[in-house]
Every structure is written in structure tokens, then in C-alpha cells.
Structure 1
Amino acid sequence: MSFGFSVGDFIGAIELVNKIRKEFVNAPSQLKAIGDEVRGLSIVLGDADVACAQETLNDKQKKKLDGIDKSCRDVLDDLQQILDQNREVVSGSRGIGKRVVRVWKRIKWDPEVINELRSRITSNIALLNAFNGEFTRDNMVKLVHHQDDQERQAILDWISSVDFPSQQKDIISRRQDGTGLWLLDSEEYKAWSSLKGQTLFCPGIPGAGKTILSSIVVDDLNARFRDDESVGIAYVYFNFRRQEEQKLEIILAGILKQLLQSRPSLPESIKALYSRHKQDQTPWPTAETPKELRSVIALYSRVFIVADALDECQNEHRTNFLSGVFDLKADTELGLFATSRFIPEITSRFENSHRLEIRAREHDVQKYLRGHMSRLPACVQRSHEIQEAIVAKIVTAVKGMHLHLESLVGKRSLKAINTALKRLETPEHTTGKHATVSEAYDRAYDDAMERIKGQVKDSSELAEQVISWITLACRPLTTLELLHALAIEIGESELDKTNIPELEDIVSVCAGLVIVDEESNIIRLVHYTTQEYFERTHPRWFPKAQTGIANSCLTYLAFDSFETGPSRNRDEFDARLVDNALYGYAALNWGHHARLASIEADTLILSLFESQAKLSSSTQVIIVAAEINCPSQDDAKKMIGMHVAAYFGLQNVISSLLEKRQDPDPRCHNGRTPLSWASEEGHLEVVKMLLAKPSVNVNSKSSARAEFNKVRGYYHRGMTALMLAAMRGHERIVELLLQTGKVDKTITYKDGRTALWYATENGYSNIVSLLQDEV
């Protein structure tokens, strides 16, 4: 403990004061007053001991209490010494069993001595009372601050659930020390970071290190302005695997959240919005984001926004994002740092901005390679000469991009390493031109896959499963999700946990192509180009991967543990997802994998549909993912196989269900029909099949109690299939619906909005024309 004090140190003082109190029993009358003072000291020492045992003391409090404790011990020791001098031992009785007692000597006490001791005891009582009062007040203040902090965090999480800081920690942790300094030392960066309202655009080829450099910029800004509350910093790492998080309203809300986190207190306007929406549990009103963002930016003297990998954002959202940011720049002195590949429609937006191309600098590549030599075999680590030869070869081969050591990892001889190094050299084509960047990467990844294929069968199959799951998953997977996925045995009724592989083995068998982001616990491929490579080549390496993933998901959903049906409440639902790590992913995505694998009529699908308990357990996940509240068990049971097949676009399953004479137009918990689900999701062939059934009502509206869709950002209340298709931009489906001649285009949403209004609002001009032509 700081200052040598701990709460336990009170025990000695308390034991001593209690011992002295007992000795004052039957004391002479002139000692009664000092006995009362000792009793008072005993009480306040006990109070301080209890209070401090329940709370953590800061260094200042420890120092103060250490002094009081020492003073108490001193006066008690002096008092004990005087007591010992003025008491004597006598026999308390005669004969067998007599006992020895201490009695007071018949002397006259010196009043000055007694008064001096009383004064010292009283002084310590006053000090302890003052400390106890101050300690209590401080704890009350801490409690109030804690409650304020809890509400503050609740408001911030309400605005946005995206955790950009954890992404920053993940990325910057992969930086090799000493790299990226060329960017920070460049004149372009110095000018951008020192002048207000500047834009610095940094394009680069794949693998140039753009994302790491963006994290270095964020790290530099955070370090430089850490103690300056007048400077706001926000950042966005675009990632094509996180498309649901990268819509304009979500991105801007994430930026707003970051800028609010740096403020000492939240604006009253934000608190007022939270108060209005808290009772109804409605989401952050995205329409308020631009206004609140401008207001918060105005609170700072400077604001920086770092936007990495614009090319990984979907075109529509990227266009809206850049327009929104440039609008903000026009009204504020916002500083923007952005990276992207060389894509004309992106680079053209930065024609009037400062520009600095990102290329892998030789110094950085050397630093990275030397920092990762430990991954190579012992024959390399023992020879400095071989290490330098490897560095020289790779530095020559990279041509402005970071070629990692993956093609050398796993080699066990110098000959194998030299062969791999020769393949890294960019060869001349017959035309005399150099190989493209993509071809250079492909050779490195081809080599890695050949090494994986060359492993023993179990290791090779495990690596292929790992890479196929990571490559084809609809979103990034956590390590626990992947471990459960790999342990599934098709057709089994439960997960055998002894079949779960070790994470270290998973990483090891993948020849350096897979890493774990420790901050987010996401397992991913080592680089964006690795993901890109396997998306192009997975039919060659893993031709049946989609089928395997779909069957694994379906097997997981059919486990006996889900025979109990949907959860009764949100706590049970959350516990189910925790206990069954892959359940959430499997329920939300099995149909996407099945559709892509063309196994829509597979036995496993129909088997799931025949079990109402297991099917409704999985549909509860779909509903919770889209809606704010957890549906009741009855609501979950109302979303049946026909709805699910339409939602995922499984036309062969729809065909099988119709052949079994199932109702093509059932209504689920929020009054939606299969046609409604298929129209919203854009499944054209399913819409055709449903429209061919005379009993399908094309004008069916969702119910008035339909929940807010937190993924899409709108309510489903009172909406028709035409409205949903028009809102989502599904032109061919709008055409099909209109061609039936049965659609009522005048049907309105509760506030008077029609399908035409939604198409106009979202900028779908072709759909607007279709709807107007039909008027």
C-alpha cells in the first residue's frame, strides 16, 4: 500500500483501545472523564474501520489516515504506560482456585497529565470524525459521478453500438515499431495536422499498408492532443465484411459518439432526446444526427476525421458519406484524412485536396521483416546472413506493397526457402511486362495453399474448414463461434465439446494466413488481399464449402437442446446465445449459405421446418436481430417455414412447401406475409412463385403493432409488399407487382406515405417512373 498504510492496520489500534477500555472498569472517579474519552475514541476508530473496509482509499486518504493512526497509537501507548505504572497485582481470593487481579494504587493523579492525555485523545477523535465525514462525502460524490457515468455510457451506446476504439486497438497493435514515420514526417501530413480545415487524401495499391498507416495517424493525433479538450478526433475503418455497420446513418452516429466521448459532459439536447426515447425504448433518431453532429463539432476549436479504406464501403453509402462529410467541411473547419485504392469515382472526389500516395517504404518493409524473423525455421534464425538475404529479396519484390512472410513460413530447409524467394520475384511475361500486383500476391497465396495441402490429412482438412468459414461467413466470426462451427458433426443431435479444436492448432495449420484480433476476439485472414484471393479462388480450393457451412448451421439449429422452443424472455434468450456460441450466426445466415450452395430442398432444411419448436427458436433470433424487443414465444411461433423460406429466397423450398399444399399467404407475428418478406429482401423468383397463387393478397399490410426495424432503420407498420420493394430499390419486383393489375398504389403508411414517396425519398428514379407511368 502507498504510504505504508492499509485498512487492516486499524486492527492493532482498535485492539489496544478496547483493552484500555476494559482496564478503566472500577477506575477512580478522577479518571472517569478520560475513560469516557477512550470510549469515544474506540467508537470512531470502529466507524472508520468499517467505512474504509467497504471502499478503496486513494493515496491522499491513505496518507491522512496513516498519520491519524500513528497519532492514536502514540497516545494509547502513553496511556497504557501510565495505567501499568498505577496498577498492581493482588490475589483476588483465598484457597484453591484463587485468581490474580490488577487493582488501582491509592495515589493522587496529576491533573495536568490527565488533561494532556484527554486533549490528545479528543484531538484524535476530532481528526477521525473529520476524516469519516469527508470520506462519506467523497463517496457520495463518487456515487453520483458513477451514476452520471452510467447514464452517460447508456446514452453513448444508445447513439451507436459500433466500437471503433477496439478496432483502433486491434489495428495499431499490429504495427511494427518504427514504421510509418515517413508519413508523419512528410510535409503533406505536417501541413494537414497543423492547419485547420485541410483534407489529405492518401490513395494506394492493395497491400500498401493503408489501414496500418491510418491507425498510426489516429495514434499520433490522440497522443498530440491528449490533454487538449478543444480538439475532437473521430475515425472510421471501413470493412467490406461489416456492411451492416457502414450505412450513412450508422457511420455518422458512430462519429457523433466518438466526439461526444471526448466532451466533459453531454449536451443538454442529447440528454433531452434520450429522455424522450428512453421510455418507449425507441432507437436513436437518425434524422437528428446531422444537426447534433454540427452542434458538437462547433464545441471544438478543431476536429479531425480519419476515414480508412473508402473503397471497402458500398458505393451508395460511400457516396452519401463523402457528400455528408464535405457538407460538414463547408460549414466547419473539419480536417479529413482519407485512404482508398485507386478507384476513379473516389479519387475524383478529392481532385481539389492535398494528396500523398501510400506505398510500402523500403525502411518499413525491412523493419517488419526483421521483426518477424522468429516465425521462420531455426536454420534462418541462426544465420544473420540468411536473414539479410531474405530481407533483400522481399524488399526487391514488394514493388510498393507489403508482401508478408507467409510464403516462407513452414519451410524446413534452406533450399525450400530459396525456391520460395525466387517465386516471389515478379517475373517478366512473354509480352515483356511485369506481373500485376494481384498476380504477385496470388503466387504467395498459392504457395501457402500448397503447403496447407501438403500437411497430414487432419491438419489439411482443418485448415481448409477454417479458411472456408472465414472467407464465406456473412460477417466476421468470433473465435468461439468458429470453434463451435468446426466441432459440428453433420446429423448429430448435440455438440460434442471434446471435438472442439484448440485455437492455437487452428492458427498453426493455416500457414500464417489466419490471425486473431485480440481486442475484438475476431478471427480473420491476415490481410485484405488474402480475403480477396480466397473469394476469387475458393471454388478451386473448397468447391463444396457453402454446402458444408449450410449443413453445419442446420445441424446446429436442430440440436436437441432447442426442442424446448423459443425463449420465454430476453434473459433466457441472451443466455441461450451465450451458451450456444454459433446459434445466433446459424439462425441468421444458414439460408444465405443454402441459397448460394443451391441446396434449397435439402433434407436438413425440411427437417428443421417440420419441428415447430426448433424452427421457432431460430426465427426468434431473426426477429430479435431486426427488432428492438424480444418477441414472445407465441410471436416467434407465428413465423413459420413459408416465411423463413421467403426471407432467405429459397425457391425450391417454397416449391416443396406449396406442393404440400401449405398456405402461400400466412401472416406472421407482425402481420407480414411471405410476399412481404421476399419483396423486401429482393428475391425475384420467390416473388414470381407467390404471385402465381390466386390466394396471395398483393395488398396485404403489416399490422399496426409491427416493430421498428433497427437494421433497416424504419417501421414495418402498415406497409405493403410494393412499399417495401420501392423503399429497398428492387425495380424488377416493383414491375412484377404492378403487372398483376391488382396492386393499390394509393395505400398509405400511417403518416400518408405511399410507395411513390418511398421511391422518391430514396432516389430510385426508375421506380419513380414506373409508379408514375401506372397512375
Structure 2
Amino acid sequence: MLPSVVKGARIWAFDYNSNYSHDAQTVKIDGLAVALLNCMKDRCGDFESRKIIFIGSCFGGVVVAEALLTAFRDAERKKALFDQTAGVIFLGSPLRGTKAATFAGWKNLVFGILGPDQESSDTLLDDLKENSSRLENLVAEFGKLTVRSRTQAGIEVRCFYETRKTQMSNAISRNLPVKEMLLVDKVSACLDCHEHIPLDVRHAMMNKYRGPEDPNFKLVSGRIKDIMDKIRADRSLTGDEKKCMQALSFPYQDQKDVNPERVEGTCEWFLQHEKFLAWCQDTTKNLLWVTAGPGCGKSVLSKALVDEGLLHAGNPDTKTASICYFFFKDDAERGSGINALRSILHQLFKQKPWLIKEHAIPDYEIHGPKFPFSTLWNILIKAASDAKAGPIICLFDALDECELSNRNSLINYISSFHRDSKTSTSKLKFIVTSRPYNELSIEFKVDDLPSIRLDGNELLENISREIDLVIASEITRICSGRSPPLDDGTQTSLIQHLKTYNNRTYLWVYLMLQEISRSLESTERRLTRLIETIPHSVNEAYGNILKRATKPDQAQRVLRLILAAERPLTLTEMNIALEILDMEENGEHPKSDRKLELDRTEAEFQRKIEDFCGLFVSIVDQKIYLIHQTAKEFLTSNNGILNSWSPSCWKNTFAHEASHLEALKACMWYLQLEFRISRSFLSYASINWTFHYQQAGKDADNELGKDALQLCDTTSQRFSLWFQELSLERWGLPPVNSNDLIIACTFGLTTAVKLLVEGKSNVNVDCKGAMYDRTPLSWAARNGHEAVAKLLLEQGAEVDARDADDRTPLSHAAESGAAA
């Protein structure tokens, strides 16, 4: 049946002995993976110019994942096989093991049927046991390789899971008592960062269909065809279209996947809400605003809506919709409205590549890779109005964490679109989540704004019931994972104790469950005593976590760097930053990166960070995050009033300027090194040191002004190094052959400018740089650096000097919003 759906494709089958009893083989997963790779190597000429889609049913999916991971580690196989792989379809694959593989559940029954003289092999079953460390490592490593980023193409993955239980006893002997179970449940069958699709079948029927009209066959073959269409569309993109896609790329998937998956049965308060169902089913309803307080699970809900296909809600018109999303976070990169629209368009054109030529390329030819905010929005509206676009659903999560000016612009654009929708043919719809801030409601400027707000007794009761489900599910998981597992009575007692607390939120429950999970206690009495000491609020929990920091000074430094970082730092970047700061603090002043004594592996350093900060940070895909937005609010102060820090007092003790000063020191001191081994921190330090300088305020000028002057020495190799990195990221910079004064004025380095104009008699404050013919005053005014502009004017800088565009410093100042 498949050839009729994916025409022109070559279809191969790889079979193997997967028996667990009679005639069972003793080979393990890696052995079968190598056998698959060898089979493909013998026929590699057949697909040298073709892309590969693997379909792995049951254990075959595990073999496929292992084979691709093995191929990735070998240069020859990577080029021949891994790089040619475009997609993987998993059909009920036990990626995280299955309860059916336990010794007691299967092998004992097999022995009972075959008799004691029959020999079976549990080699395969050992690897398939639930919570197998072997599979956990496989899933973690394979999952990273499938994600698209700037450095890797990624792999399209679709995970299908069964929804009907199998009668276990009938599968082995009809004379045994009936026991029903999902052989491979959803958690095991699905990868976190890819689409999850349910099939209404038991496990044995995941790859068996009645005919081409079988709904399950249509569902599976449709996903295969989708991947095929994307392969063909990607091949058809021109050079400029590929460059445009690169300009729109952003790690949006990482931001979504930081959030945990919902527990089955939760989020029903929203999924069954009449306004959500109306929004899904009525094509004229194109906006829905969902609000709830902190820690109520908004981002978990948003992730489920995207990953589980819940935005369709039974409407056949939207099942072919392009789902595009962005999860805002409160930092410069992840809080950018420009990055949000870039991400939305990248996802749209990835799903509907034929739209890019007509609707994005004309603007790309004008602006290059740096699209203005308004242009990105206009591209979205034009593309959505195309008759070939089909339905488009855009989800913006945590809009309140978007940078203020971008946020207001985005709200105004969405509001205008909503008001004008009666005269539009577009099938574009928006769903937005945020905290219930009144200023957002005012900004929307929409009469009868369609919204769902999590308040009122009925909704709060629903949330409370769902939190009970999370408690029961997670306590069962934690207790079952202990060695030996905790008994049912202890589990029940823990669940009941946690349910007695009032005013619970998802965040509070998560923190409490982590406390229990990390506890070494194993008796009911001691665990109950632990629960009785649990804090009653999230802030109290945060304080307790940080009070237990083994090295409070180091924890404080790590948290400052996280708070100041323009984007989440990787483990390697944090490792380098901490080492430089520690060495400088101890008076060691390294001259070369060879002098940095870094932890040998990322795993070692990760354990160190977790030891410093405990549950206060989370590490996902080697990037370091605060556990939640409320953690940032706990550390900082909105009203400017700070408490004095001590190892026992953390709340409202982190000053904005002090955090940025710490990050600035790490960046500047790193850029002054001679690079002999690695440049792992070079990109971040080069792109962001001047930003941290501005945010650190007067302390930056007082403490690091002379260091800044050294980095502005345009004759030095270190200047060429960092300025080249920055030029790849930012437009509108002076030419690389500019003089020291123009560079210092461009970035608002007041002390460096002062040292140049007051300390050197031959410095011309009205010198003009190449290309733009701009004076230092024009560069300072253009970038809004008032203190530098004032300093230049005091030195007699010409206020009416005109550049190549016939513009003066005053016109540049007016455009930047600086005082003239």
C-alpha cells in the first residue's frame, strides 16, 4: 500500500530474529544496529543521492535509533548514512522500555509454557526493561541529534503510540488469568521534542492495516508523505531561499522543550473549556488570550497543545494547519519579539516552503538577514493571506515576558488583525498565554477580548484535582524507581499528606516532589516527617534550596551570571566564566587559555553546578536555566530596594548592575587571553561584552575603563578577533578599519573615550571613518550614548558635521531617542 502514497520512493525491509523464547538469539541492541548498518553499507550506492526515512516498529525503532547513533560516531558512516537520514517513524517503539519486558512478567510465563528444559534468552528483554539506563542514555543522545539547530540539520521524527490494551495472558496462553496492559505506553513510545500521534489499536496492530482506507494507515502514511514533501521542498529551495531560512532560524524548539510534559488527565480545565472549543471549531474566531498566575502550568499546557496536536480539537479543517509557536523568556534573546516572529516564519516556511519565494524573498533582498519587526509581521500577514497557505495557528507563550516595546507592538498588530478579520480571507489564528496583568488587557484594545482566565472556584477546583493527579503519578514514579521500590502503603501515605496542603500550584508541587526524590529517606515515618517540614510557599521553598548551597559564594556567582546572560549559557561557557573569575579574584591573572583549569567533562561540571545551586537551576541540553521565572523574581527586586545578602538570606539581594558587572568581567578578561586551545566562550564574550558594560553602569567605567580601552585598540589582534565575531551578529557597525575613538564612541565606553581625548594630544574628535564618513559624535549619538556625546562636545566636537548620508549628529540623536 505504501508505494501508492509515497510515489517514486524505494522501499526496503530489514528483518531480524526478535524472539524472546524459542530459538532466541543472544545479540544485544548494538549488535542488531551494526547488522542493520552493514546491510545498508552493502547497498549504499542505491541511496547515495537519496534521502532516507526509517520506519521502526516496536523493538525495530530502538534498533534504528541505536544504528543512527552508531553511524553518527563514525565519520564514514555519518556521511553515508546519518547525514542522508531525513526522518524516522516510530510505531510503538519502547524507547524507554516496557513493563512487559520484566523477568517476572514474561520470562517466568515463558518457562511455564515451554517447560524447564526449554532454553530462552533474556538478552533483548534486559535492554527493554522499564527505566533501563541503557535506553535512557540512548534516548538522551539520539534526541539531541534529531533537533534542528544552526549547527545540525536535524531529523524529522514522528512517534506513534497505542491506546488499546493487550491481553497479556492470551498472548502467551489462554489458560492463564487475563491481564490487560499497554505494552508500550505513551511515555515510552514518544521522544520529548517531536510529534506524538495516538493510534486506536493494540500493540500488535501498530503496523498492520486492513487496507488503504484504514484510518490508521492514512494517519501513518500521511506523516511519511509529509516528511517526503519536506525533503522535496527543501531540495527545491534556491540559494537565496536557503539563506533567507537561515536568517529566520532561531532555537525556538529548545525553549519549548525546557518545559516538562503534562501528566495524562491534566490541562482538562482548558481543553474542555467552551471558549477553547469554540476557538478551535469556529474559523471566524481567530484570537484567544489565556491567563493564569505564576506556577499554574501555562507553559506545560502550551507545550502539550503543540506536541500532542491538541489545537485541532476535532475540527477537520485545522488538522492540516501549520502550527507555529514561540515560548518567551525574560532575557534579551528569548524575550525578543523579533526573534519570536523570525521563529514563527521559519516554522511556517519549513511546513509550507512554497510560500517563501513570493512573500519573504522580496524583503530579504531589501533588508538582508536583519529583518525589521514590522517587516516580519507584514511577511506573516501576506503569507497567511495566500490561498495556498491553508490554516495557520500561532501560539505565543508567556507574552508578559516579551521585551516591552516589542510586546506592545506585537499586541497592537494582533489586535488590529483581529479587528480587521471580518474582511480578511486569511485562516490565521492566534492563541496567547500570559500572567493576568491589567496593562496587557489595556494594550489589546479589543472589545470583548476572547479570553480564559484561571480564577473562580470552579476552575480552581479543577486545577486542584489535576494537581492531585500529578502528585499521585509522580509519587508512584519516584517510589517505584527506588531500589528497592517503596511499598504501596508508603506511596499512599505520601500522596495523602501532599494533598492536604492548600493553595498548591504546579510549581510548588514540582519543588516538593524534587525534595522527596532527592531525599535518601526510605521509611514511611521518616518521609512523612520530611513532608511535614515542607515549606508552604514557593518563595519559602526557594530560600530553603539556596540556604543548603554547599558553596554559597560560588552559588551567588553562578546565579549572577545566569541573571545577566543575554541567552542561556552552556555548561562549557559557564565553566570558562567561573574559572576566569576565580583566577582573577585570587590574583592569578592568566595570560593564555592554557592556564584555565576546567573540569574535564561537562558531566563533572554539571554535577558541580547542581551541587552549588541545587534545584534552583535546571540544565537542559547542556544549557543552564533558572528553574522558573519566579526564581528570577525571588532573587531580584522590582522596586529597587535590596536586602543584604548572606548565606541565609537570598530573597531580593541581587542588583541588576552587580550581575552584569560579573558577566562583564568574565567576558573582558576572557577576550584579553591568548587563544591556544579552545574558543568556546569567544562568541558570547565578543557579542555581549559591550552590552554588559552598559548595563553594569558606573562601576564598569570605574573598574574596567582601562581594560575597555585595550579592547578598542584597533591595531591589536584581540580587537580583530572580537570585532569580527560581533560583525557576524550585528549590523550597522563601523568598518573594521575605524580608529580607536570611533569604536569607543560607538559602544558608549565613557572612560575609554575620556582617556583617548584627554590623554592624547593628536586625537581629532572630528575625525571621519571610512565608508559612512561619520564622526565619533555621530556614532555616539546614533547609538544613544549621551555621556559620551557630552564629553565630545566639551572637547569641541562639531555638532553639524554631515556624513555620507547627509545626516548630522543631531538627526542621529533624534532617531535614537537620545536627548539632543
- Provide TM-score, normalisation by structure 1: 0.62
C-alpha spacing 1:50/1:623, structure 2 compared with 1 (3 Å): closer
1:591 aligns with 2:693: yes
* Alignment partner, residue 354 of structure 2: 265
> Hey, what does 1:528 align to over in structure 2?
629
1:481 partnered with 2:568: no
Q: Is the 8 A contact 1:557 1:618 kept in 2?
A: yes
SS of the residue corresponding to residue 402 of structure 1 reads: helix
Match of 1:509 in 2: 612
The change in CA–CA distance for 1:381 and 1:354 in structure 2 (over 3 A counts) is farther
SS in 1 for 2:609: helix
Alignment CA distance shift 1:196-1:653 (3 Å): same
Matched, 1:465 2:557: yes
SS in 2 for 1:200: strand
Structure 2 Cα separation of the partners of residues 655 and 637 of structure 1 = 21
State the alpha-carbon separation in 2 of the partners of residues 272 and 654 from structure 1: 41
Instruction: Write out per-residue CA displacement over residues 541-585 of structure 1, whole angstroms, 9 at most, x where no aligned residue.
Output: 5676544332222210100239xxxxxxxxxxxx98658464435
> Would the alpha carbon gap of residues 250 and 656 (structure 1) be closer, same or farther in structure 2, given more than 3 Å must change?
same
Report the equivalent of 2:194.
none
Between Structure 1 and Structure 2, which shows a larger proportion of helix residues? Answer: 1
Query: What secondary structure, in the 3-state scheme, does the structure 1 residue paired with 2:619 have?
Result: strand
Change (3 A) 1:622 1:596: farther
Cα distance in structure 2, aligned partners of 1:652 and 1:583 = 20
| Residues 674 and 244 of structure 1: CA distance in aligned 2, closer, same or farther (over 3 Å) | farther
Q: Could you tell me which residue of structure 1 aligns to residue 538 of structure 2?
A: 441
Paired AA for residue 347 in structure 2: Q
* Corresponding position of 2:290: 202
Match of 1:294 in 2: 381
Once structures 1 and 2 are overlaid, which stretch shifts more, 190-199 or 142-151? Answer: 142-151
Query: Could you tell me how far apart the structure 2 residues matched to 1:528 and 1:50 are?
Result: 49
Structure 1 distance, partners of 2:799, 2:543, is 51
Q: Does the alignment pair 1:162 with 2:265?
A: no
- Structure 1: which 5+ runs fail to align? 7-47, 61-140, 426-439, 563-574, 705-716, 735-775
The answer on whether the counterparts of 2:240 and 2:361 sit within 8 Å (CA) in structure 1 is no
Provide, for residues 442-490 of structure 1, a one-character-per-residue CA deviation record: whole Å limited to 9, x for no partner: 22211111111xx2x4xx4443332221112233323332222123232
Structure 1 449/267 Cα, relative in aligned 2: closer, same or farther at 3 Å?
closer
Judge conservation of contact 1:556–1:583 (CA < 8 Å) in 2: yes
Find the aligned partners of 2:759 and 2:242 in 1 and give their Cα distance. 49
> Residue 769 of structure 1 corresponds to which residue in structure 2?
none
- Match of 2:20? none
Amino acid at match of 1:335: K
Which runs of 5 or more residues in structure 2 are unaligned? 1-10, 17-41, 55-228
- Post-superposition CA distance 1:190-213 (Å, at most 9, x none): 222111132322111122221221
Aligned to 1:492: 590
The answer for the alignment partner of 1:751 in structure 2 is none
2:405 matched to 1:316? yes
Contact kept? 2:335, 2:402, Cα under 8 Å: no
Rate the CA distance shift 1:657–1:148 in 2: closer, same or farther, 3 A. same
Distance 1:307 1:49, change over 3 A: closer
The superposition leaves residues 180-229 of structure 1 with CA deviations (integer Å, 9 ceiling, x where unpaired) of 23321222222221111323221111222212212222234467489967
Q: Is the 8 A contact 2:570 2:623 kept in 1?
A: yes
Evaluate the alpha carbon distance shift between residue 352 and residue 468 of structure 1 in structure 2; reply closer, same or farther with a 3 A threshold: same
Identity %: 19
Given that 1:472 and 1:546 are in contact with CA atoms closer than 8 Å, whether structure 2 keeps it comes out as: yes
Q: Is the 8 A contact 1:476 1:522 kept in 2?
A: yes
Which aligned pairs between 1:277-676 and structure 2 lie closer than 5 A?
283-284=370-371, 289-298=376-385, 299=387, 300-329=389-418, 330-331=420-421, 332=424, 333-348=427-442, 349=444, 352-358=448-454, 361-370=463-472, 372-373=474-475, 382=486, 391=495, 395=499, 396-400=501-505, 402-406=507-511, 408=515, 418=529, 421-422=532-533, 424-425=535-536, 440-452=537-549, 455=550, 457=551, 460-488=552-580, 489-490=583-584, 491-495=589-593, 496=595, 498-500=597-599, 502-518=605-621, 521-536=622-637, 540=645, 541=650, 545-561=659-675, 580=682, 582-585=684-687, 587-592=689-694, 594-595=696-697, 597-602=699-704, 604-609=707-712, 612-627=716-731, 635-640=735-740, 642-661=741-760, 662-668=763-769, 670-676=772-778
Amino acid across the alignment from 2:605: E
- The AA in structure 2 aligned to 1:556 is Y
Amino acid paired to 2:738: K
Residues in 1 aligned to 2:532 and 2:716: alpha-carbon distance in whole angstroms: 58
Encode CA deviations 1:618-644: one digit per residue, 9 max, x unaligned: 233333321289x9xxx435252x445
Q: Which residue of 1 aligns with 2:269?
A: 182
CA RMSD of aligned residues (A): 4.3
CA pair 465-286 structure 1, distance change in 2 beyond 3 A: closer
Q: Distance in 2 between matches of 1:725 and 1:476?
A: 32
Aligned residue number for residue 133 of structure 1: none
SS class of match (1:242): coil
In 2, the alpha carbon distance for the partners of 1:688 and 1:380 equals 71
Aligned in 2, Cα 1:328/1:561: closer, same or farther, shift over 3 Å?
same
Q: Which amino acid aligns with 1:522?
A: K
Q: Distance in 2 between matches of 1:227 and 1:54?
A: 39
Looking at structure 2, the residues matched to 555 and 375 of structure 1 have their Cα atoms a distance apart, in angstroms, of 44
What is the alpha-carbon distance in structure 2 between the residues aligned to residue 467 and residue 442 of structure 1? 16
Say if 1:164 and 1:236, in contact at 8 Å, map to a contact too.
Answer: yes
Deviation at 1:267, TM superposition (A): 5.6
Match of 1:744 in 2: none
The CA deviation at 1:157 is 1.6
Q: For the Cα contact (< 8 Å) 2:335–2:401, is it kept in 1? A: no
Distance 1:415 1:4 in 2: 53
TM-superposed CA distance for 1:369, in Å, is 4.0
Q: Contact 1:205/1:401 (CA < 8 Å) preserved in 2?
A: no
Q: Comparing 610-619 with 487-496, which one deviates more in the overlay? A: 610-619
Q: Distance in 1 between matches of 2:339 and 2:328?
A: 12
Question: C-alpha separation between the residues in 1 aligned to 2:369 and 2:53?
Answer: 44
Query: How far apart are 1:50 and its partner, in Å?
Result: 8.8
The SS at the match of 2:322 is strand
Q: C-alpha separation between the residues in 2 aligned to 1:49 and 1:598?
A: 62
- Equivalent position to 2:46, from 41, 44, 52: 52
CA distance in 1, matches of 2:402, 2:620: 21
**Offset, 1:502:** 1.7
User: How far 1:153 sits from its partner (Å)?
Assistant: 6.2
Report if the CA contact (8 A) 1:678-1:684 is conserved.
yes
Q: 1:335 to 1:492 in 2, by over 3 A?
A: same
Question: Displacement, 1:596?
Answer: 6.1
The alpha-carbon deviation at position 653 of structure 1 amounts to 3.8
Following superposition, the deviation at residue 288 of structure 1 comes to 5.1
CA contact under 8 A between 1:411 and 1:417: conserved in structure 2?
no
For residues 217 and 638 of structure 1, do their structure 2 counterparts lie closer, same or farther at Cα, with a shift above 3 Å needed? same
- Structure 1 residues 1-16: aligned runs within 5 Å: 2-3=12-13
C-alpha deviation, 1:512, in angstroms: 0.9
Distance 1:420 1:312 in 2: 33
What residue identity is the alignment partner of 2:573?
Answer: E
Contact 1:514–1:525 (8 Å) recurs in 2: yes
- Residue by residue over 1:423-453, the C-alpha shift from the partner in whole angstroms, topping out at 9 and shown as x without a partner, is 623xxxxxxxxxxxxxx3322211111111x
Equivalent pair of 2:746/2:783 in contact (CA under 8 Å) = yes
Q: Secondary structure at the match of 2:675?
A: helix
Q: How many Å apart are 1:323 and its aligned residue?
A: 1.9
User: Structure 1 pair 355/548, CA: closer, same or farther in 2 (3 Å)?
Assistant: closer
Matched, 1:211 2:299: yes
- Residue of structure 1 in register with 2:169 after alignment: none
Distance change in 2, residues 1:449/1:57 (3 Å) = closer
Per the alignment, residue 125 of structure 2 pairs with none
User: Which amino acid in 1 is paired with 2:441?
Assistant: T
